[in-house]
Amino acid sequence: MALADARAGTRNEAGVAAVLGILKQAFGDRFQTGDAFRAQHAHTTTYIPSQLPDGVLFAESSDDVKAAVRACSEHKVPIIAFGTGSSLEGQINAPNGGISIDMSRMNKVLAVNAEDLDCVVEPGVTREELNVYLRDTGLFFPIDPGANASIGGMTSTRASGTNAVRYGTMKDNVLAVTAVTASGEEISTARRARKSSAGYDLTRLFVGSEGTLGILTSVTLRLQGIPQKIAGGVCAFPTIKAACDAVIMTIQMGIPVARIELLDSMQVRACNRYSGLSYPEKPTLFLEFHGTEETVPLQSAEFGEIAAECGGDEFQWTVNLEERNKLWKARHDAYWACRALAPEMAALSTDVCVPISRLAECVVETQADIEAHGLLGPIVGHAGDGNFHVLLLFDDKTPEGVAVAEAFVARLNARALSMDGTCTGEHGIGQGKMAFLEQELGGAVDLMRQIKRGLDPDGIFNPGKIFHAD
């Protein structure tokens, strides 16, 4: 990937210089301006060039966040929150320079309320850290994007993952946030009650706002009881359509499937090669059921009947932990399995989401597109949500290679939008999908701009993301 410095344009050189002085003075070694730190806080995982911030602050408390926001606010300098840097659409880039505020040291679990099935965490806690912390409570936090992302980052991109079909996305699992807003004050969007009708839903406004409205300082999360019993299984189908029909019937019948993941033939082939497996190289569903000793076999059997009706192979499932882990390791290694198909190429993970009635059509047309253009792009999908990813392998060393990738992404998004879908189910807009957001929502994007101007009049929070300010 290219490593460009912060782009010119609306850089506020005098303001940046002032803020660098203030933060250096206030934070000493916790504020870094060296190239390595700056580059590390602006890497992207796409064809978007990196755009470096001018300095990186390692925040350790809400007071640190307030001090940084006040300095940036006073001098109208961009401030960009950084969790683990695993976002996929250039969310952490600094197109006009400014300050990257690294939240990884704000990684305390502040409270676990087992009776209420909730917890309060600092935004730098990663999802895996949280689940390790919760292990002895009988509770877990279900949302699992591929990366071990931070809770703050997951909140900000409205992340989800393999089990959103059962447990929802971050929108459904964040009960409240605290955030430092443009005035430098810390606000709380909600109390800890499970539901509320008290005014505008500021919680949901911050969820998915990609750091453009303030800096999160804590997140209150809903937790789930660890299921008594878990079953996993794999089922191959003759066609994508048959697999998707099985998904639709499963959802319609109200079988509370916890995961129902679609891999296309190319993805199965990649997984077989990478992980030394021998799954039939056909469209395949990976499933998981959460329940009790009694209900998990019932759910699994019900799905088996549906699969048979849709022309699927025999559905084999297991409650054995080792076998389940092996199965899901193959799914979770999908990204690396793809990369191994052509190690000399770069990989781009892009996502769209359509109504599930259109999923088969959208996937099949996308496969045809990939073949027609001579591309390599295995497909994995959170089929229960109608959400799928293409892991496009492309040449990032030449402008032509990048152009091929960009054109593919544009066609994929146009296709999803034409099917009443969205340009992103879980990766967010960042810089990479701004044009598609306009195509998707048209005039509604103006409402977003009005909100942004109201809450962040000087445009200091993560500028140049989601939409252009005017």
Q: Name residues contacting a second copy, limited to 153-192 (CB under 8 A).
A: 157-160, 164, 168-169, 171-172, 181, 185, 187-192
131 vs 188, beta carbon nearer a second copy? 188
The correct pick among 53, 142, 378, 425 for binding a second copy (CB under 8 A) is: 425
36: number of Cβ within 10 Å: 9
Cβ neighbours for 363, distance < 8 A, ≥ 6 positions apart: 240, 244, 262, 264, 379, 381, 388
Residues 435-454 touching a second copy, rule: CB under 8 A, are 436-437, 440-448, 450-451, 453-454
Strand partners, 177: 219
CB 89, min distance to a second copy, A: 9
Q: How far is the CB of 352 from a second copy (least distance, A)?
A: 8
* CA–CA distance, 377 with 373 (Å, rounded to integer): 11
Nearest distance, CB of residue 135 and a second copy, angstroms: 16
Contact flag: residue 298 with a second copy (CB under 8 A):
yes
Establish how many alpha carbons lie within 13 A of residue 166's alpha carbon, considering only the half-sphere containing its beta carbon. 21
Q: Using the rule CB under 8 A, give the single segment among 14-22, 94-102, 333-341, 431-439 that binds a second copy.
A: 431-439
Instruction: Mark out the alpha helices in 333-385 (DSSP H runs).
Output: 334-341, 359-372
Q: Which of 166, 195, 162, 287 lies closest to 236, judged by CA?
A: 287
Q: Encoding tokens for residue 145?
A: 């994007």
Q: Which stretch binds a second copy (CB under 8 A): 39-47, 54-62, 152-160, 403-411?
A: 152-160
Residues 375-414 that bind a second copy (CB under 8 A): 385-387
Tell whether residue 426 is a contact of a second copy (CB under 8 A): yes
Q: 224-225 and 139-140 as β-strands: parallel, antiparallel, unpaired?
A: antiparallel
207 binds a second copy, rule: CB under 8 A: yes
Stretch that binds a second copy, among 51-59, 99-107, 204-212, 399-407 (CB under 8 A): 204-212
CA distance linking residue 363 with residue 282, whole number of Å? 14
Q: Measure Cα distances from 82 to 38, 85, 88, 130, 251 in Å.
A: 11, 6, 13, 18, 36
Considering only residues 116 to 135 of the shown chain, the ones binding a second copy according to CB under 8 A are 116-118
Of 195, 322, 343, 372, which lies in the binding site for a second copy, with binding defined by CB under 8 A? Answer: 195
Candidates 72, 260, 271, 356: give the one binding a second copy (CB under 8 A): 356
| Cα of 174 vs its chain's centroid, Å | 14
Q: Using CB under 8 A, pick the residue from 424, 431, 459, 463 that binds a second copy.
A: 424
Residue from 294, 314, 344, 470 binding a second copy (CB under 8 A): 294
Other CB atoms within 10 A of residue 388 CB? 25
Amino acid at 398: T
Nearer to a second copy (CB atom), residue 195 or residue 278: 195
